[in-house]
Amino acid sequence: MNEVDFFQLKSWVEVPAHSDFPIQNLPYGIFSTDGTTARPGIAIGEHILDLQAVAKLGYFDELAIDIHVFDQEVLNPLIALGKPVWQALRKKLIELLSEGNPSLASKADQVLYKQAEATMHLPVQIGDYTDFYSSEEHASNVGVMFRGKDNALMPNWKHLPVAYHGRSSSIVVSGTDIHRPKGQVLPPGEEKPVFRSSKRMDFELEMAFITGSNTALGQSISTAEAEEHIFGMVVFNDWSARDIQRWEYVPLGPFLGKNFGSSISPWIVTLAALEPFRVKGPEQNPEVLPYLQYDGNKSFDIQLEVALQPQGAEETVICQSNFKYLYWNMAQQLAHHTVNGCNIRVGDMMASGTISGKQPDSFGSMLELSWGGKNTIHLQGGETRTFLEDYDTVIMRAHSSKFGLRIGFGEVKSQLLPAIKE
């Protein structure tokens, strides 16, 4: 099928205009409905296709895969089958869902659920979580505020995709509310820290990729091979308590300012679905070392937005950014991560770092949008913010579009609750 025909393909499942989930997308998630256990599904329009049910009806028999992978409460066993199976499954699902194919359509009532009536769960058991720091604009903005203009971008930043390890236990799915964390803070001008709840609560607009293979300790992945090891992507809100972070982060990096919670969108959009949206990345100067060099387009044009919704009010979009702004691409990130022999496992999550653009309305955190609390962020209805208030809801969305085709990620939406009382 050529690209024009593929873009125009329709499903027998109704897909509203501007839906994130046309037949060309088919993102994977873990869902449950009343009284049933969580299981793999794919999003199509406003519905979920129950992969366990489809498998039990025998539709995947010819793929010669162990259908018990569809009985699991996480996607790891399915993902572990590897890229040839991802491709075969995508092809089969497109065939089964295509308009005019009566085979599965005649059994729709056995395999389709409304998304509005389902609960979404964390889609993978996350092994390790790594957070990169790959936006030049974000790193520069934060650097100026934390260390001054002269030390904003560290000498290593343009030579390697800086990253640090984060906490996987506290990564939760969209809809899970987060409590404002407590911790040590050094009040301005004082010499002794105090213990209190954070007063500078922030989000970070990020995306994360999920690895799709297990490698051996000692093995490295080249930039050319990297995408074979990436299953798909989600939107990632890296909640941050700036006052806690600022006091603790020297010399070993962020810790309690971050690990109280991170939120992801529930649907994993595959690299296959994003294929039409490849673009050239930013020029890298100085030239990077050979193991970080790459061929072809490894960046993706994915439009991003963050909306803030005070309790009982309308939402206001306060940031519009794009994944393509990142200086370092995913292939470079994975090549760097493994160049020392560090092994990866199916289900590892690697986040991009905050994705900021050059314009002030594209900054991906309130730290940057309010420039350290100095500027006011205006919301619909007259409310203002510098950092998050209790009961604020943060909504992040992502989608790519081209020639009428829209491939979306849905959203990650979570409310900030007050600190827990003793």
Q: If you write DSSP's letter for every residue of 279-347 in order, what string do you get?
A: E-----SSPPPGGG---S--EE--EEEEEEE-TTS--EEEEEEEGGG-SS-HHHHHHHHHTT-----TT
| Residues engaged in binding its own copies (CB under 8 A) | 127-128, 133, 143, 146-147, 154-156, 159-160, 162-170, 172, 176, 178-179, 181-184, 186, 191-195, 217-218, 220, 241, 244, 247-256, 259-261, 286, 289-291, 336-337, 339-345, 348, 420
Q: Is 249 annotated as a binding residue?
A: yes
Q: How far is the CB of 344 from its own copies (least distance, A)?
A: 7
Nearest CA to 302 out of 284, 283, 275, 327 is that of 275
Query: With contact defined as beta carbons under 8 Å apart, do 250 and 287 qualify?
Result: no
Q: How far is the CB of 42 from its own copies (least distance, A)?
A: 28
Nearest CA to 396 out of 145, 209, 198, 208 is that of 208
167 versus 278: smaller Cβ distance to its own copies: 167
Q: Is 400 annotated as a binding residue?
A: no
Which CB contacts under 8 angstroms, 24+ apart, belong to 14-20?
14/45, 14/46, 15/44, 15/45, 15/46, 16/45, 16/46, 18/406, 19/45, 19/46, 19/406, 19/408, 20/399, 20/406, 20/407, 20/408, 20/409, 20/410
Q: How far is the CB of 422 from its own copies (least distance, A)?
A: 9
Q: Is 133 annotated as a binding residue?
A: yes
Q: Is 262 annotated as a binding residue?
A: yes
Exposure of 221 in the CB half-sphere (CA atoms within 13 A): 27
Query: With contact defined as beta carbons under 8 Å apart, do 359 and 325 qualify?
Result: no
Nearest CA to 398 out of 305, 316, 324 is that of 305
63 versus 186: smaller Cβ distance to its own copies: 186
| Annotated active-site residue in 18, 47, 68, 138 | 138
Q: Is 204 annotated as a binding residue?
A: yes
Q: How far is the CB of 240 from its own copies (least distance, A)?
A: 11
Q: How far is the CB of 76 from its own copies (least distance, A)?
A: 13
Q: Is 245 annotated as a binding residue?
A: yes
51 versus 201: smaller Cβ distance to its own copies: 201
Nearest CA to 388 out of 142, 185, 204 is that of 204
240 versus 362: smaller Cβ distance to its own copies: 240
Q: Is 206 annotated as a binding residue?
A: yes
Q: Where are the beta strands (DSSP E) in 162-261?
A: 163-166, 171-173, 178-179, 182-185, 194-197, 201-202, 205-211, 230-237, 240-241
Q: How far is the CB of 111 from its own copies (least distance, A)?
A: 33
**Distance in angstroms (rounded) separating the CA atoms of residues 303 and 164:** 25
108 versus 417: smaller Cβ distance to its own copies: 417
Beta bridge partners of 172: 263
DSSP 8-state assignment for residue 268: B
Q: Is 337 in the active site? A: no
**Distance in angstroms (rounded) separating the CA atoms of residues 73 and 213:** 18
116 versus 217: smaller Cβ distance to its own copies: 217
Binding site per annotation, positions: 131, 133, 147, 204, 206, 238, 245, 249, 258, 262, 354
**Binding-site sequence positions for Mg(2+):** 238, 258, 262
Per the annotation, where are the binding residues for substrate?
133, 147, 245, 249, 354
Active site residues: 138
Binding-site annotation: residue ranges for Ca(2+): 131, 204, 206, 238
